Structure 1
């Protein structure tokens, strides 16, 4: 059946996932390294403040999962050594000596100094973005009134898919006994789960969407499962996640890090 766009209302367009924003394209913005999240917030606030929020479809950092393993001597170990969604503690014996191993999954910016933006690059938007604090430029723009070069969406989607495939391989249960003289003698207990509430902001710390910020839409206390909603590439996604796959999100603390 052939649909005529003019006959469809906005809800049906959304249900069919038909995007009429053909003027919205992907661009790569260069920023001062380490300030990517702050720049994202600044750009969003600036465009919304000037009434150009509809010109922006998406603005994101491409994140990677980083696995860190640290072994502590008994005298160096922290007082609390409980497991969390992204942290695993084990008591190990190395050459007959008891020690403590902490395996942690952290998130990081895969492309330091870059953020990815999908927008309608009008003269006004171009001016506001390049004059945002800690923005150093846009890829493809020479700075001589030459607009930046858009990146084809299929290239961005492939970049995301390839990165997600690599992130899926990084997990706490991946073999860490690279030395034959290491023996795991005890896995530590799991830390008590926090009390979550509907409408609370949380960070996803498991699966493909590791690092994404979401809102709790529904909670099943008996099953310890939360239904969360989050925006990904301009669309609202819904997931059912165990409590140990999310953690409370503190925006101010994140911006300070």
Structure 2
């Protein structure tokens, strides 16, 4: 199975707490090989209050976090039973596996957050000898 991004629904205002709780559970339950990253989608916004500019982070999707994971029964259980999580987006019913985000959706979201997916810049031809350091 491959790792994919899934949207997790949380109680509104608990996104960062869910992220922290989930990261702790992943460590304590030995799921680092199944659950990789948990993100609260945010973007920078400039606010002007009392005539002063201030840059703040605004949640892109309040009430949601995204998790990069390999979907198995165990990883589903760990995420689903994290305090503050109400379920996955895209689940058809109780116990069903959720639908993963499309790669383009993830790419756009990470770009919006200023965290593009790492891309290798390869500058060599097929059959060319390369040296790996």
Under a length normalisation based on structure 2, what TM-score does the superposition of the two structures give? 0.79
Note the residue ranges of structure 1 that are not aligned, 5 or more in a row.
1-21, 72-100, 165-207, 210-231, 236-257
Aligned to 2:129: none
Which one of the candidate residues 53, 63, 74 is aligned to 1:103?
A: 53
Asked which structure has the greater CA Rg, the reply is 1
Aligned to 2:32: 53
Quote how far apart the aligned CAs of 1:65 are: 1.5
Q: How does 1:43-82 map to 2 (within 5 A)?
A: 43-71=22-50
Which one of the candidate residues 58, 70, 75 is aligned to 1:125?
A: 75
Counterpart-to-counterpart distance in 1, 2:68 and 2:27: 15
Counterpart-to-counterpart distance in 2, 1:234 and 1:45: 25
Q: In the superposition, relative to structure 1, how do residues 112 and 25 fare at CA in structure 2: closer, same or farther (>3 Å)?
A: same
Note the residue ranges of structure 2 that are not aligned, 5 or more in a row.
120-133
Aligned to 2:20: 41
Under a length normalisation based on structure 1, what TM-score does the superposition of the two structures give? 0.43
Q: How does 1:141-156 map to 2 (within 5 A)?
A: 141-156=91-106
Give the aligned length.
119
Q: In the superposition, relative to structure 1, how do residues 54 and 107 fare at CA in structure 2: closer, same or farther (>3 Å)?
A: same
| Runs of 4+ displaced beyond 3 Å | 232-235
Quote how far apart the aligned CAs of 1:64 are: 1.4
Quote how far apart the aligned CAs of 1:23 are: 1.2
Q: How does 1:1-257 map to 2 (within 5 A)?
A: 23-71=2-50, 101-161=51-111, 163-164=112-113, 208=114
Aligned to 1:199: none
SS of residue in 2 equivalent to 1:53: coil
Bigger fraction of residues in strand? 1
Q: In the superposition, relative to structure 1, how do residues 43 and 150 fare at CA in structure 2: closer, same or farther (>3 Å)?
A: same
Task: Flag the structure with more relative contact order, 1 or 2, with Cα contacts below 8 A and sequence separation at least 6.
Answer: 2
Counterpart-to-counterpart distance in 2, 1:146 and 1:138: 10
Quote how far apart the aligned CAs of 1:126 are: 0.5
CA distances 1:204-237 after superposition (whole Å, capped 9, x unpaired):
xxxx46xxxxxxxxxxxxxxxxxxxxxx7689xx
